[in-house]
Amino acid sequence: MSKAKNTGKSESAKIAMSEQEWRSKLTPEQFYVTRKHGTERAFSHPYHQEKGAGMYRCVCCGAPLFDSETKFDSGTGWPSFFAPASDEAISEHNDRSFFMRRTEVRCAKCEAHLGHVFPDGPKPTGARYCINGVALELDPGASSGGEDSE
């Protein structure tokens, strides 16, 4: 028990796993989207129309990414949110692939590719986080909204 002194620190530490480790942990589609920057087919994942309350967590590392209270129906066929659960939850990167300039969204903790953010979302933020459903896992009991949870 002498080396158990990482209290709190492990919370913010990044997770680094080899491709082999991710491959064994994830389904082929999860691996393709999150580790290979893939995109699921529109309307292919049930989360695009999921209305349940809770916290959408990173399918790779479990970090809380998007609260269901920020989810909205964008009509695109992908789960869409107007804000991340917290500023630290995600990281944004310039993506110039496919001759477009887009902003890629990743899990800040494990670098999982989640989707992209566009500036045409609803109020109050005006942002539209267009996220692959397979990159998320809805945790129904973990909405950050209420004080009287549980």
Known catalytic residues are 130
Does residue 105 contact residue 115 with C-beta atoms inside 8 Å? yes
CB atoms within 10 A of CB 41: 9
Tell me the per-residue interface mask from 47 to 76 with Zn ion, x by CB under 5 A, - otherwise.
Answer: -----------x-xx-x-------------
DSSP 95-131: E-GGG--EEEEEETTT--EEEEEES---TTT--EEEE
Among 16-24, 82-90, 93-101, 105-113, the segment contacting Zn ion (CB under 5 A) = 105-113
CB of 1 to Zn ion, least distance (A): 28
68 by DSSP, 3-state: which? helix
For residues 107 and 64, what is the distance between their CA atoms, to the nearest angstrom? 9
Among 39-47, 70-78, 110-118, 128-136, the segment contacting Zn ion (CB under 5 A) = 110-118
Which of 45, 48, 71, 109 binds Zn ion (CB under 5 A)? It is: 109
Q: Which residues here bind Zn ion, judged by CB under 5 A?
A: 58, 60-61, 63, 107, 109-110, 112
